[in-house]
A = this chain, B = another copy of it.
Amino acid sequence: MAARVSRSKSEAARPAAGRRPAGKSGVREVRSAERREAILAAALEEFAVNGFAGTRLDDIAQRAKIAKGTIYLYFADKETLFQELLRAMFAPIVKGFEQMPADDVPTRDIIERIVALFVREVIGTRRKDVIRLVISEGSRFPALAEFHYREVLSRVIGAMSALMARAIARGEVKNPAYAKFPQLIAAPGLVAVIWSGLFERFAPLDVEAMMRAHLDIIFGERKAP
């Protein structure tokens, strides 16, 4: 019943929907966590393909092999599910971009590790679709855009900038613009994300080769091994 009169209106009175409390890890809790994961996985698939407005909770439920109503035991509503999904996807990976290197490691090695991580964990997984989702829906979910700026983008950009400053200080990179516009480092990564999602079937893009060429430009041609 959408209009439960004097309940549906007052947000305050709403019972604490969603978010199951995680008690001691009995059978119940384990299954509960599994369910939650199943829902998130199904939601990712559906949202990635259809966008937020275009995705039906019915489809998510079907894919997760649960009843429609069950979703509401774990998430307050469609929007919450969507946002929690997108938030959860990046937490683990950003750390990999931020690790500051030991003194004796050449910056190029670090960046190459990062690129490999990016290709493996972003381009090679559903995460690339999550990035496209943020791009697609960001303007309609200001909270989402802000979260991703704060938690992902600003940190990645910051890490890139620091890394480039280090490389410039050590004479590994000539052009100081890279520290000022770290976006220039990440730009081909964005191209890769979007190309692989939309145009791969018309003209495949060798992302790794492109990224290698990009690094060669930044650091100067690598000597033959």
Q: Which A positions have Cβ atoms within 8 angstroms of B? A: 1-6, 15, 48-54, 58, 77-79, 132, 134-142, 145-146, 149-150, 153-154, 175, 177, 180-181, 183-184, 186-188, 190-191, 194-195, 197-199, 202-203, 205, 209-210, 213-214, 216-217, 221
User: Which A-B residue pairs are the 5 nearest by beta carbons?
Assistant: A136-B136, A53-B53, A187-B187, A177-B213, A138-B198
Q: Which of B54, B197, B203 contacts A53 (CB 8 A)?
A: B54
A152 to chain B, nearest CB (A): 11
Residues of B within 8 A of A205 (CB): 183
**Bound Cα distance from A194 to B132, whole angstroms:** 10
Tell me the number of copies of this protein. Answer: 4
Q: Is the interface of A mostly helix, strand, loop or mixed?
A: helix
Does A79 contact B5, Cβ atoms closer than 8 Å? yes
Question: What would 7 A/B residue contacts be, using CB atoms closer than 8 Å?
Answer: A6-B141, A48-B139, A50-B140, A134-B198, A181-B209, A181-B210, A183-B205
**Bound Cα distance from A50 to B138, whole angstroms:** 10
Q: A1-B1, A51-B51, A187-B190 are in contact. List 18 more A-B contacts (CB 8 A).
A: A1-B53, A3-B79, A5-B140, A6-B141, A49-B140, A50-B140, A51-B137, A52-B54, A53-B53, A132-B139, A135-B135, A149-B199, A149-B202, A177-B213, A177-B217, A181-B210, A181-B214, A184-B210
